Structure 1
Amino acid sequence: MSRATGVPRRAVAAPAARTVPELLDWRCALHPDRVAIEVHGVDQLTFASWRAGALAVAAALRRAGVGPGDRVALVFAAREWTGYAVAYFGVLRAGAVAVPLSDRLAPAQLEYAVRHCAARLVLHGPLTGPAGPLPAVPTGVAPLAVADLVADDLAADDTGAPTPPARPGDLAQILYTSGTTGRPKGVGASHANLVAGAPNHPRRLALAHSERFLHAFPIGTNAGQTMLFNALTAKPAALTLPRFTPARFARLVTAPGTGTVFLVPSMAIELLDSGALRGRDTSGVMLIGSTAAALAPAVATRLATTFPAATIVNYYSSTEAAPAQTVMIFDPARRAAVGRPADGQLMIADEQGRPLPPGSVGEVWLRCPHPRSYYRDGPATEATFRQGWVRMGDLGRLDADGYLYLADRHQDMIKSGAFKISSLEVEAALHEHPAVGEAAVVAVPHPVLGSAVGVVLVPRAGHPPHELTLPTVRAFLADRLADYQLPARVLVAETLPRNEAGKVLKRTLAALFDPPD
């Protein structure tokens, strides 16, 4: 037995975990002294420390009156990933429900989430306490630092207290959507959903080619939660950094042992355009995974050139659909495809939810076992979740080989006269322009057509804005797009507004365009 964990050290295989705490127990038994999470230059967390800390948090929560099913909000900064991991698993160990929230939320956003889920309390780290940037929380919900919560437990070594066992179907997590199209919704996930597909044998640990996998995703996002569970179920340690900058990230990308890198398209573009990788040896990176938004084919091509030994993979999912997703290894012959289903099923359907044949454009649905649902929002749940299927909010089609091609988000499709224009298709063409660093396409009013294509561009480093005028952009796109897809308006900006998940806030961009004369 391990003195730190209280579980056998040499467990090799085990029945499939049915709850999240069981998954941590199993991994801790396998690798108690191995580093699970490292925040570069700040802190490290071994599996033994992770489990011991979670037990202490659970015991303290129970004494504080937190019981099964109670919601506990978690507000942590990017440099507090280790404390967040301990707090998250402690909440679940106590039978409560974890509600991860970004420390960068505005006060009104935090207050809405805490009130909506009726959180019993708010746990935070040392940098997000009363002396830090923790926004105000609703009256009656006192914020509490994790270190203060568990201080007595750790001193007393009170980690063996009995814990009410969670059941697979119990609610474990509420994760709020980014709210790009309206007020954020809380997406509830059960223990069974969160452990679906988890390994139960050390030979099945993912990313075995790496000693570390690198990411810079914020806490409180679906991508961040994926990294948290990767830290638990993959062979390499999770490596992150307190703040993303291209220079810092490039140093870690090319450090010995970094075999896998996860990023979102905006990070990929910033990293590639910064020149921070110039002269560095990138041959150690074997896998680059992109998520959260569509990866433009031109950007995927640049990644493949910069990382010649790496497989470039695009993951398509959502907070609602996880763990169901499509996975696409970048293929120049299928530049625009986003893959075939993994960990679930895929369907293209009409407005009534009836399957459509290959080649037909319709609504994209994903299906996985133990589906999620919206918390305290019956009408939205009914509209989005149907018999295990999740409406993705995207339009797309399947080819004869089952590869998914996205047409656009429902709300981003531009209806111009008799034509429907995909903003994704126009953005992909714009990324091929040598002076374009970032591009976003929105609908702008048109006196005759109703709507037309509006483009907001961020110049690539070293390229002045005058290279991206409306005439020059239209001329560049003339051989790549139909005439009705060409932009009617072009704006040049220093940055694109994005949410914590890296998605462009297109409603904000649309407001930048003045009405036509």
Structure 2
Amino acid sequence: MSADPDPTVFPLDHLALRGRRDAPALVLKDRTLTHEALNARVGLLAAWLKSKVCEPGARIATWLPKTELACLMPLAAVRAGLVHVPINPLLKRAQVAHILADSGTSLLISNKARLDTLEPGDAACPLLDEPAAWAQAEALGNNLPPSDATPDNLAAILYTSGSTGRPKGVMLSQTNLWLGAVSVAHYLKIAPEDRVLAVLPLAFDYGQNQLLSTWYAGGSVIPLDYLTPRDVMKAVTRHGVTTIAAVPPLWLQLVELDWPQDTAAMLRRLTNSGGALTPSLVRSLRTKFAHADLYPMYGLTEAFRSTYLDPSLVDQHPTSIGKAIPFAEILVVNDAGLEAAPDEEGELVHTGPLVAQGYWQDAARTAERFKPAPAFASLRGMAVWSGDRVRRDAAGLLHFVGRRDAMIKTSGNRVSPQEVEEAAVATGLVAEAVALGLPDAQLGQAIHLVARANPGASPDDLLPALTRALPNFMVPRHVHWRGEMPVSPNGKLDRVALAAELAKDMTP
């Protein structure tokens, strides 16, 4: 590849035109779409969408596993002049109802099993299952040509949890998603012959980019909804996979498998985000997959991806998050608002064209996180002030220090403590609750819930009730019951005291 990637921005749906016409682009369970067929199916789906939803910029939601429609919708919605809202298939009705209402979705496409879980009032828009959507699109038989969307046009809204409150929608433009695909394809050196196994949810920026960066490079994607880590290994063997993107809990499970040497040797690159790799896990990955380059990365949905560590530096610097990816400038701002000195801790600030457009219909939270770049930045305009604390060493490598907010990072998912607490109180069993994330070797952080029970409530009923109400990754691993909750001087529940108490109890 060239020293610098091409900064030219095209409409996102033009990614369907990047690969060789007869080369594989999407490997489904029952058939493979070439790049030519991919473009045709995107055009077919886009024409149907435009006939169903006429208003330009309307939001179209999908709540699906990695089906054909889920994979094509990021491109088809743009071609139809609409905005895609992908919903994590692990979410349950309460979270889905919030996203539908907040985004003002005009159409939700899912499958019958998921749609049947919704209750009256959960959705103000039409609901359609995927087979019916394809049947209607094929009956219509029209095909939209590639779009002429402008770089600033809104392309997608990705919902991500905040440290307080319900999930918020991050607005991503054509520029954000196109240059994100270009950047990743460039630094990962993805080639047309590469076969990328897409195991991460497509509702995450990291998961969706598995599609976009691969198609930019002209490669092929194999979507996989796996039940066990062994399913991942079998897929690598079956499809000759060269690339896997995953989060630390999955990597821990994969290195524990007994991989056939020939299968392990197929992998050329492993990419990690959604949590830091430990030195021991790095050693295990380097041993198990000796022929693969390992790319540790750091990112946030508000700016897609910020840094990556060159594989040649991983063995010497296993805990570093590396340097800025193409099209990003990463600054370390100290508490005085100045550029931090080498090894001085500060806030990670990301500026450049990958910075999102803000939070959907939430000016207050947008103003908190999206602010003008510091005066010493090379790239001007708006920047994402991450709230994460980092330091830059003398060699220019960044190292993650900690999170300023209370966000819980578990199994590669960002979980809002308030959302867990609200769900606990909503069961009627809990009067007060505080959710905390404490270090866990397998999960990164495990969710601990400290709660005071309502009179007459049975504590044993809480976890089953939360399991019914929340996706599995949000269900607390531990519940600590208290007769009285500590209160801080400002009258709020004292999270700091509870976290210190639990950490002390966990210390051997």
TM over 0.5: yes
Q: Which residue of 1 aligns with 2:352?
A: 368
1:356 aligns with 2:344: no
| Offset, 1:328 | 4.3
Q: Secondary structure at the match of 1:292?
A: coil
Is the CA contact (8 Å cut-off) linking 2:25 and 2:215 kept in structure 1? Answer: yes
> Which amino acid in structure 1 is aligned with residue 141 of structure 2?
D
| Offset, 1:74 | 1.2
Is the CA contact (8 Å cut-off) linking 2:198 and 2:211 kept in structure 1? Answer: no
Choose the corresponding residue for 2:122, options 124, 130, 138: 138
Choose the corresponding residue for 1:31, options 11, 16, 20: 20
Q: Which residue of 2 aligns with 1:263?
A: 246
Equivalents in 2 of 1:374, 1:238: separation in Å?
Answer: 30
- RMSD across aligned C-alpha pairs, in angstroms? 3.7
Is the CA contact (8 Å cut-off) linking 1:283 and 1:308 kept in structure 2? Answer: yes
Is the CA contact (8 Å cut-off) linking 1:346 and 1:365 kept in structure 2? Answer: yes
Is the CA contact (8 Å cut-off) linking 2:105 and 2:125 kept in structure 1? Answer: yes
Q: Which residue of 2 aligns with 1:396?
A: 390
Equivalents in 1 of 2:119, 2:89: separation in Å?
Answer: 8
Residue by residue, what CA displacement relative to the aligned partner does 1:328-354 show, whole Å, maximum 9, x if unpaired? 425232222110111211111134643
Q: Which residue of 1 aligns with 2:12?
A: 20
Choose the corresponding residue for 1:333, options 286, 295, 316: 316
Aligned-residue sequence identity (percent) comes to 25
| Offset, 1:393 | 2.4
| Offset, 1:189 | 0.6
Q: Which residue of 2 aligns with 1:75?
A: 63
Q: Which residue of 1 aligns with 2:89?
A: 103
Q: Which residue of 2 aligns with 1:168?
A: 151
Equivalents in 2 of 1:312, 1:410: separation in Å?
Answer: 28
Q: Secondary structure at the match of 1:99?
A: strand
Is the CA contact (8 Å cut-off) linking 1:230 and 1:238 kept in structure 2? Answer: no
> Which amino acid in structure 2 is aligned with residue 293 of structure 1?
G
| Offset, 1:316 | 0.6
**Which stretch of structure 1 is more off in the superposition, 350-359 or 335-344?**
350-359
Equivalents in 2 of 1:256, 1:111: separation in Å?
Answer: 37
| Offset, 1:197 | 5.8
Q: Which residue of 2 aligns with 1:345?
A: 329
Equivalents in 2 of 1:264, 1:107: separation in Å?
Answer: 25
> Which amino acid in structure 2 is aligned with residue 335 of structure 1?
P
1:382 aligns with 2:367: yes
1:251 aligns with 2:251: no
Residue by residue, what CA displacement relative to the aligned partner does 1:140-164 show, whole Å, maximum 9, x if unpaired? 312123443353443453215x787
Equivalents in 2 of 1:404, 1:60: separation in Å?
Answer: 47
| Offset, 1:127 | 5.8
Q: Secondary structure at the match of 2:57?
A: coil
Q: Which residue of 2 aligns with 1:312?
A: 294
| Offset, 1:139 | 4.1
Equivalents in 1 of 2:440, 2:100: separation in Å?
Answer: 35
| Offset, 1:37 | 1.8
| Offset, 1:114 | 0.7
1:50 aligns with 2:34: no
Q: Which residue of 2 aligns with 1:296?
A: 278
Is the CA contact (8 Å cut-off) linking 1:106 and 1:135 kept in structure 2? Answer: no
Q: Secondary structure at the match of 1:408?
A: strand
Q: Which residue of 1 aligns with 2:73?
A: 87
Q: Secondary structure at the match of 1:411?
A: coil
Within 5 Å, give how 1:420-439 maps onto structure 2.
Answer: none
Q: Secondary structure at the match of 2:242?
A: strand
TM-score for both structures, normalised by structure 1: 0.71
Q: Which residue of 2 aligns with 1:113?
A: 99
Q: Which has the higher contact order (CA 8 A, sep 6+)?
A: 2
Equivalents in 2 of 1:209, 1:23: separation in Å?
Answer: 13
Residue by residue, what CA displacement relative to the aligned partner does 1:388-408 show, whole Å, maximum 9, x if unpaired? 321222111000111001111
Long gaps (5+) in structure 1: 1-13, 414-422, 428-441, 443-451, 460-496
Relative to structure 1, the CA distance from residue 16 to residue 457 in structure 2 (aligned partners, 3 Å threshold; closer, same or farther) is: closer
How many positions carry a matched residue from both structures?
A: 419
Relative to structure 1, the CA distance from residue 512 to residue 340 in structure 2 (aligned partners, 3 Å threshold; closer, same or farther) is: farther
| Offset, 1:269 | 0.4
Is the CA contact (8 Å cut-off) linking 2:180 and 2:213 kept in structure 1? Answer: no
> Which amino acid in structure 1 is aligned with residue 267 of structure 2?
V
Relative to structure 1, the CA distance from residue 403 to residue 105 in structure 2 (aligned partners, 3 Å threshold; closer, same or farther) is: same
Residue by residue, what CA displacement relative to the aligned partner does 1:56-91 show, whole Å, maximum 9, x if unpaired? 22222222233211111111113x1x2212233221
Q: Which residue of 1 aligns with 2:53?
A: 65
Within 5 Å, give how 1:399-414 maps onto structure 2.
Answer: 399-411=393-405
Relative to structure 1, the CA distance from residue 183 to residue 320 in structure 2 (aligned partners, 3 Å threshold; closer, same or farther) is: same
Q: Secondary structure at the match of 1:76?
A: coil
Q: Secondary structure at the match of 1:173?
A: strand
Is the CA contact (8 Å cut-off) linking 2:332 and 2:349 kept in structure 1? Answer: yes
Equivalents in 1 of 2:121, 2:32: separation in Å?
Answer: 29
> Which amino acid in structure 1 is aligned with residue 35 of structure 2?
F
| Offset, 1:411 | 3.3
Equivalents in 1 of 2:187, 2:271: separation in Å?
Answer: 19
**Which stretch of structure 1 is more off in the superposition, 323-332 or 64-73?**
323-332
**Which stretch of structure 1 is more off in the superposition, 314-323 or 507-516?**
507-516
Q: Secondary structure at the match of 1:333?
A: coil
**Which stretch of structure 1 is more off in the superposition, 220-229 or 254-263?**
254-263
Residue by residue, what CA displacement relative to the aligned partner does 1:343-385 show, whole Å, maximum 9, x if unpaired? 2111111346432111111111122215201111111111111
**Which stretch of structure 1 is more off in the superposition, 91-100 or 382-391?**
382-391
Within 5 Å, give how 1:184-195 maps onto structure 2.
Answer: 184-195=167-178
Equivalents in 1 of 2:31, 2:476: separation in Å?
Answer: 37
